[in-house]
Amino acid sequence: MTSVVIVGSGFTGFECARRLQRQVRRHGGDVDITIVSPIDYMLYTPLLPDVAGGVVDARFVTIPLAGTLRGVRAVRGRVEKVDLSAHTLAYTDPDDRTHEMRWDRLVLTPGSVTRLFDIPGLATYARGLKSAAEALYLRDHVLEQLELATIDDDPAVAAGRRTIVVVGASYSGTELVAQLRALADAAARQMGFDAASVRFLLLDLAEQVMPEVGEKLGKAAMDVLTARGIEVRLGLTLTEVHADHVVLSDDSRVDCRTVAWVTGVTAAPLIETLGLPTEKGRLKVGVDLRVPGHPDVFAAGDAAAVPDLTQPGKITPPTAQHAVRQGKTLARNVAASLGYGTAKDYRHRNMGLVVDLGPHYAVANPLNIHLSGYPAKAVTRAYHLYSLPRMVNRWAVGLAYVTDLLFPRTVVSMGLSSQEDAQFSASEGIPMPKAD
Ligand SMILES: Cc1cc2nc3c(=O)[nH]c(=O)nc-3n(C[C@H](O)[C@H](O)[C@H](O)COP(=O)(O)OP(=O)(O)OC[C@H]3O[C@@H](n4cnc5c(N)ncnc54)[C@H](O)[C@@H]3O)c2cc1C
């Protein structure tokens, strides 16, 4: 039987698998569709800041492959090597055993990982926000540090525990700092200490917070952050990270025990092992999402450099919005390559962004209409409920939103994700840089 193997169960791979299976069934075809991924779910990343902030339970932002991808075989494993001429791949399962798999069509959607730099201590002491383990760790770690600060005799050590540094002021870093602030405020009320004693620092080399949403909304977001007591320091990054302090690029030292590194992403490590042409580290593909010179290989999402037909000369940005739509086009074009239906080029105009800034506030620019305050909050939450690809998850997240409106946040540090679990290497599969 003809086999299609999809690598990665993120937005692109999940959508491709779901549509492809339907497309083949509609045409009465017989195709063996397999999705290979180290995790058995699709992670709805836009709600990771809410997980870190304790608004939404981590399970509610995971869409299980079992039960949602009917007719698709889900295989737990990380693809390590692809042989493009022999049409095979090798993957390692969670028990560290290596297996080989044959394919007639290969769909590469391994997404992206946090972009790290050779900053001493970064990979050891900082944590990212790309996986459920990282989001859970940040929530638990911040709360644990706030709890420890209440029993520290040395005020300087306590102040360090109450200082949280977030690096990266794009939408994910900004959402994260806003949610952690709300969590710390809830902890202060419930544990009986002064919320103003918790210091939040948001750093970025850029000159503006969230350049993606434009100057007006970026300024609105900046005003909200400042009003919430978050220090935003632009034109700055880290040069050293230690267990109890960081050094900034202006040579100043900040004592802190929590560093979140959310500065951007780069294509998954698998891409550079392929030996194929890349652009900005992403695998080059044509407008039909085929890899040039390899008619049986397709790629899309954060891992691929997909030409943006609405902005000639540019590639599409790494967003979920593009990833989902590219997943649909992939399904259609892979099916067409097997004789079911017709192929089409990928074309999608950006529909705008929604950014949740914690209690009562958000900014959004749907269809280029600039919104802030309550209207933006309503649009943001409605958008996520609509975009979650499973009814049970919509229900659970909807209830979490209502609970958040009616009750104080639950302040518990359950230790579900350890410092090791949340390391970039363990949770995202990034090899540790030499500097550490
Ligand atoms: C905190 C955060 C908030 C975000 N918020 C938004 C938002 O509000 N709006 C928006 O549009 N975008 C948002 N994004 C961006 C969005 O998450 C990405 O653009 C999207 O996830 C890309 O989808 P993908 O399928 O290409 O990759 P991913 O979703 O990253 O999925 C890749 C999959 O491949 C798997 N994989 C990796 N390597 C291998 C391998 N070697 N073998 C097998 N499987 C592998 C991974 O485990 C994963 O399942 C956000 C991202 C983050 C981190």
Give the type of residue at 221.
A
* Residue spans of alpha helices (H) in 5-131: 11-26, 48-52, 122-125
CA–centroid distance, residue 336 to ligand 1 (Å): 26
Cβ–Cβ < 8 Å for 62, 42: yes
The predicted structure's pLDDT at residue 366: 86
**Count of CA atoms in the C-beta half-sphere (13 A) of 300:** 37
- Torsion sign over Cα 90, 92, 93, 99: positive
The predicted structure's pLDDT at residue 283: 98
In this structure, which residue's CA is closest to atom 39 in ligand 1? 110
Cβ–Cβ < 8 Å for 355, 221: yes
Q: Which residue has the tokens 């450099």?
A: 305
In this structure, which residue's CA is closest to atom 16 in ligand 1? 320
SS3 content of the chain, % helix, strand, coil (to 5): 35, 25, 40
The number of the ligand 1 atom at minimal distance from the alpha carbon of 36 is: 43
The CA distance from 85 to 219, in Å, is 52
Q: Which residue has the tokens 């593909």?
A: 285
CA–centroid distance, residue 114 to ligand 1 (Å): 10
Give residue-wise pLDDT tens across range 65-103. 999 999 999 999 999 999 999 999 999 999 999 999 999
Give residue-wise pLDDT tens across range 154-186. 999 999 999 999 999 999 999 999 999 999 999
Could you tell me the end-to-end alpha-carbon distance of the chain, in angstroms, rounded to an integer?
A: 47
Q: 68, 302, 365: which to mutate for ligand 1, most atoms within 8 A of CB?
A: 302
User: Which one, of 162, 174, 293, lies nearest residue 234 by Cα?
Assistant: 174
Instruction: Show Cβ contacts of residue 32 under 8 Å, excluding neighbours closer than 6 positions.
Output: 1, 2, 3, 4, 73
The CA distance from 207 to 262, in Å, is 16
CA–centroid distance, residue 96 to ligand 1 (Å): 23
Ligand 1 in contact with 321 (CB < 6 A)?
A: yes
In this structure, which residue's CA is closest to atom 23 in ligand 1? 11
CA–centroid distance, residue 8 to ligand 1 (Å): 9
CA–centroid distance, residue 323 to ligand 1 (Å): 8
Instruction: Show Cβ contacts of residue 25 under 8 Å, excluding neighbours closer than 6 positions.
Output: 71
> Token digits for 357?
């800034």
Q: Which residue has the tokens 């002021």?
A: 169
**Pairing state of beta strands 258-261 and 265-267?**
unpaired
Q: E strand or H helix at 216, and its extent?
A: helix 214-227
Whole-number Cα distances in Å, 46 to 17, 50, 168, 208 = 21, 8, 16, 21
CA–centroid distance, residue 285 to ligand 1 (Å): 18
The predicted structure's pLDDT at residue 59: 96
The predicted structure's pLDDT at residue 284: 98
- 192 — phi, psi (to 5°)? 80, 40
Ligand 1 in contact with 172 (CB < 6 A)?
A: yes
The CA distance from 182 to 189, in Å, is 11
Sheet strands side by side (includes 88-92)? 78-83, 88-92, 98-102
367-371 average pLDDT score: 86
> Residue 281 carries which DSSP code?
T
CA–centroid distance, residue 40 to ligand 1 (Å): 14
The predicted structure's pLDDT at residue 389: 95
Q: 19, 37, 353: which to mutate for ligand 1, most atoms within 8 A of CB?
A: 37
CA–centroid distance, residue 74 to ligand 1 (Å): 18
301-321 average pLDDT score: 96
The CA distance from 98 to 271, in Å, is 19
Give residue-wise pLDDT tens across range 102-148. 999 999 999 999 999 999 999 999 999 999 999 999 999 999 999 99
* Residue spans of alpha helices (H) in 162-213: 171-191
pLDDT band for position 431 (cuts 50, 70, 90): confident
Cβ–Cβ < 8 Å for 333, 287: no
Sheet strands side by side (includes 362-364)? 354-356, 362-364, 371-372
Whole-number Cα distances in Å, 350 to 108, 319, 323, 353 = 23, 10, 12, 9
Ligand 1 in contact with 7 (CB < 6 A)?
A: yes
The predicted structure's pLDDT at residue 90: 98
The CA distance from 193 to 406, in Å, is 22
CA–centroid distance, residue 45 to ligand 1 (Å): 7
The number of the ligand 1 atom at minimal distance from the alpha carbon of 176 is: 1
pLDDT band for position 396 (cuts 50, 70, 90): very high
In this structure, which residue's CA is closest to atom 37 in ligand 1? 110
The CA distance from 337 to 104, in Å, is 10
Ligand 1 in contact with 11 (CB < 6 A)?
A: yes
The CA distance from 201 to 345, in Å, is 43
pTM of the model: 0.96
For the chain, what is the mean pLDDT? 95
The predicted structure's pLDDT at residue 433: 61
CA–centroid distance, residue 146 to ligand 1 (Å): 31
